[in-house]
Structure 1
Amino acid sequence: MNLAKDFTSKIRYKLSDKFIQNFSWLGGAQIVYRFFRLATTITLARLLNPVDYGLAALVLTTNEFVNVFAQSGIDVKLIQAPEKELNELCNTAYWLNWLMYSGIFLIQCIVAFIIGWAYGNMQLILPICLMATVYLTIPIALVQCVLIQRENRMSVIAVTHMLQLCIDCVLTIILAFLGLGMWAIILPKILVAPIWVWRCYAHHPWRVNSKFTLKNWQEIVKFGRNILGSQLLTTLRNNIDYFLVGTFLGVEQLGVYYFAFNAGLGISLGIITAFSSALFPYLCSVSNNLERLKERFFKGLKTVALITIPLILLQSTTSPFYVPLIFGQKWVIAGAVPILILICLSAIPRPFGDAASQILRAVNKPDIDFKWNVIFTAILVFGLLVGLQWGLVGVAAAVLIVHVVTIPIFTLWSSRYVITTHPDTIFKTSL
């Protein structure tokens, strides 16, 4: 009886932990979404050809590259900021967001013409420009969204993303059956944007309470420039292989690679994203206490490892069986299975790298994270250029090798750096 009570109390304690709650909400939402995503991927794999996939990949990749300029660190600064500075920073952030996202909208429309000309395909211009209209809705509720995260109310964020992404999947399936080709992938992402705005705006009472102001904007920009640099490099790493494959191996090969990447890494990346989103505010709330910071950091690593590693190994080992069964024999013939396996295995170290970045940001060291991203990106680009000599399998192998070799080194170094340079450590050492 005592053992049962002890076990029950431990379970209750773990479930009451804010990180576990947030991760459970975000992870649960991702699982629901991935079921919808699986149905979408199966539908698209059977109704779209590699050329359709390739064109959609170019549109979405272009959007991802431009979107990175929105990752300016404003949201990270609001989560990390002291309470007494928060309201003033929120008002400044609101107006900064409008300036930034309006500029990004114009930039993406200009880039659309460049991409259309570069690939000799003017039908890419319209979808890229339409994707840019989403940016004009984001500033309406972005501050509210960040404050919800700061308050660790990830259940709101989880449900919002789940609704948005699941409706996206349903619309994609409908449009694919209607024969819209690449538009079946592009249009839903535009149509579901208001869902996020509505949910975030409705679930937080903050409203801008001043006229146009940029007071203390330097503080936000100074903190955010390293975040922006890191996000630029992360987006470059996440998409440079698409551009290299499309440029050197052709649009059809890009379609095969894009399918393998999404089918192999979709579920894992969803869990990793949920982990990263839950971990940062969890670490920020104890960033001035070394012992609690260490405890939360390593608890986060242990939790994500227990979930992701068995899942990734299971998916990679069973892929030769489920790919032809679920997605169709044409992807086996196209050579997608070995690429899928290699890309899938590259997900194993990724959450550890994300955790290392989050702990550096939590202790106000985003500059170190940026320097790491410079080094990591350079290594990855070099590896991809070498891997291209062996086609798609060479590219996928390069992605795996670079991630497996470099990320554990960065994770170990970052954790040791934070522990040895934290004010608590310095104080104890001086004693």
Structure 2
Amino acid sequence: MSRRRDNVKQWLTAKLQQLDSPFVRNVGWLGGSGALIRVSRLLATIILARFLTQHDYGSAALVLTSNEFVRVFTRNGVVVRLIQTEAENLSHLSQSAYWLNWAMFIGLFFIQCVVSFPIAWFYRDTQIILPICVMGLNLLMIPQGLVQAALLQREGRFKVIALTEMTQISTDNILSAILAIAGLGMWAIVLPKILVAPIWVYIITKNHPWRPQGKFTTEHWGDLVGFGQSVLGVELLNTLRANLDYLIIGRFLSLDALGIYYFAFNAGLGISLGIITSVKSALLPHLCDVRDNLQQFKSRYLQSLKTIGLIIIPLVLLQASLAPFYVPIVFGHKWIAATPILILICLSAIPRPFADSASQLLLAISQPKLDLIWNLIFTVIFAIALLIGVHWQGVGVATAVFLTHLICLPFFTVWASRYVFKDA
């Protein structure tokens, strides 16, 4: 018996040592802050579900989706380039990136205000024009700290990033709950996202010493934009897929149906999506550190996949299995209709982080074009599936989301892994 206990102890010690890595610690910081964020979001979601109507949720979904389609151009590969570039180029690229970000973000603000009018016409709701324009104010704050945020990621200082996100988003959730109780309806979701933006800028800039030097410059913009083209293409396709179901339901069904679906998506995928985002943020610098050593590169990547599986799969299965019990108790009986959608969307989270890891693997070896090609193929398949699924209302759309992710993403993960390590 004593020998068996010793063997178990040795096995556990070996496993813990395998998990003790910068990647796990960074995911731990991001995941830990994400857990606290999810607690605050859960409380906010409970209050919003009690005080907002399905129509309020539907209107907010259109506003946030419109904003997300503009904000995707902020994920243009500049941050990835600063993380990936050689040390001798970092100073010059950082200076150029700062001014490039300002030029792009100011332009995007005006674009968001202009597109609010055709969006309102398309969805036959002029009340969303003002909130879409107001959401654009965020774009005028982000450039002040974006280079510092990239450098923090490059240096592996995810503790700062995690604490910043926790403070910002938790404050957002608390304000949403307060404004919902105050009866602001859709604005309870929109306004806090503007009010908390300065928090992110202040904490990020305070925790990194980098500051722009000299005058405005366009030097190295070609390098930054050239590298970022494929990265931006992937982000555009990711954003399209992330919001395409909202757009289709809002257009072909109703705002009430969109409200139910939007609630189910956030309640079902909220926790898992936070962890998935954390994994994606931490993995690229973790892989770039050892990309010159193929065996170590492969070992680090495969170990990361194992860690992801240990975290994501049990969490998703537990949440999906408990959904029929906690939805009516926690959120109220008016959201029972959202339960099947919630379960299907929740289960679709299982293959997502593995495919995201494969994408980061391709970025680490400077092959963003391959990632772009895959995302283009997957987006076409996904769109076709959604257009078929919408004939069966929200549940049909959720089923299409689940099946396309379950079938397509594992295929891509295996293909990308074999492509990169074919000579290992």
Tell me how many residue pairs correspond in the alignment.
Answer: 420
- Selected match of 1:403 from 396, 401, 405: 405
- Give the structure 1 partner of residue 365 of structure 2: 363
- Give the structure 2 partner of residue 272 of structure 1: 276
SS at match of 2:138: helix
Matches within 5 A, 1:19-418: 19-332=23-336, 335-418=337-420
Q: Which runs of 4+ in 1 moved over 4 A?
A: 1-12
- Give the structure 2 partner of residue 429 of structure 1: none
Question: What does the per-residue CA deviation read over 1:2-24, in whole Å, with 9 as the maximum and x for residues that have no partner?
Answer: 76985686477456511111010
* 1:349 CA displacement: 0.4
Question: What does the per-residue CA deviation read over 1:146-180, in whole Å, with 9 as the maximum and x for residues that have no partner?
Answer: 00000000000000000000000110111001000
* 1:281 CA displacement: 0.8
Unaligned 5+ runs, structure 2 = none
CA spacing shift, 1:234–1:212, aligned 2, 3 Å: same
Question: What is the alpha-carbon distance in structure 1 between the residues aligned to residue 95 and residue 31 of structure 2?
Answer: 31
Structure 2 letter corresponding to 1:130: V
Question: What is the alpha-carbon distance in structure 1 between the residues aligned to residue 261 and residue 7 of structure 2?
Answer: 51
* 1:117 CA displacement: 2.2
Matches within 5 A, 1:8-19: 10=14, 13-14=17-18, 16-19=20-23
CA spacing shift, 1:329–1:2, aligned 2, 3 Å: closer
Question: What does the per-residue CA deviation read over 1:192-228, in whole Å, with 9 as the maximum and x for residues that have no partner?
Answer: 0001100110111111112111212211111100000
Instruction: Note if contact 1:94-1:143 (Cα within 8 Å) is conserved in structure 2.
Output: yes
SS at match of 1:268: helix
Instruction: Note if contact 1:257-1:392 (Cα within 8 Å) is conserved in structure 2.
Output: yes
Unaligned 5+ runs, structure 1 = 426-431
* 1:118 CA displacement: 2.1
Instruction: Note if contact 2:109-2:140 (Cα within 8 Å) is conserved in structure 1.
Output: yes
**TM-score for the superposition, normalised by structure 1:** 0.95
Question: What is the alpha-carbon distance in structure 2 between the residues aligned to residue 4 and residue 385 of structure 1?
Answer: 52
Instruction: Note if contact 1:360-1:369 (Cα within 8 Å) is conserved in structure 2.
Output: yes
Question: What is the alpha-carbon distance in structure 2 between the residues aligned to residue 2 and residue 261 of structure 1?
Answer: 45
Structure 1 letter corresponding to 2:382: L
Structure 2 letter corresponding to 1:379: I
Question: What is the alpha-carbon distance in structure 2 between the residues aligned to residue 261 and residue 68 of structure 1?
Answer: 20
Instruction: Note if contact 1:242-1:254 (Cα within 8 Å) is conserved in structure 2.
Output: yes
CA spacing shift, 1:219–1:393, aligned 2, 3 Å: same
* 1:367 CA displacement: 0.4
Question: What is the alpha-carbon distance in structure 1 between the residues aligned to residue 202 and residue 9 of structure 2?
Answer: 44
Structure 1 letter corresponding to 2:345: I
SS at match of 2:422: helix
Question: What is the alpha-carbon distance in structure 2 between the residues aligned to residue 356 and residue 11 of structure 1?
Answer: 24
CA spacing shift, 1:105–1:399, aligned 2, 3 Å: same
* 1:113 CA displacement: 1.5
Question: What does the per-residue CA deviation read over 1:114-138, in whole Å, with 9 as the maximum and x for residues that have no partner?
Answer: 2122222222111111110111111
Structure 1 letter corresponding to 2:205: Y
Question: What is the alpha-carbon distance in structure 2 between the residues aligned to residue 72 and residue 384 of structure 1?
Answer: 27
Structure 2 letter corresponding to 1:394: G
Question: What is the alpha-carbon distance in structure 1 between the residues aligned to residue 56 and residue 9 of structure 2?
Answer: 57
Question: What does the per-residue CA deviation read over 1:232-289, in whole Å, with 9 as the maximum and x for residues that have no partner?
Answer: 0000000010010000001110000001111111001011011111111101111221
Question: What is the alpha-carbon distance in structure 1 between the residues aligned to residue 197 and residue 293 of structure 2?
Answer: 39
Instruction: Note if contact 1:14-1:20 (Cα within 8 Å) is conserved in structure 2.
Output: no
Instruction: Note if contact 2:29-2:162 (Cα within 8 Å) is conserved in structure 1.
Output: yes
Aligned-residue RMSD, C-alpha: 1.5
SS at match of 2:214: coil
Question: What is the alpha-carbon distance in structure 2 between the residues aligned to residue 370 and residue 344 of structure 1?
Answer: 25
Instruction: Note if contact 2:48-2:180 (Cα within 8 Å) is conserved in structure 1.
Output: yes
Question: What is the alpha-carbon distance in structure 2 between the residues aligned to residue 15 and residue 403 of structure 1?
Answer: 27
Instruction: Note if contact 1:269-1:347 (Cα within 8 Å) is conserved in structure 2.
Output: yes
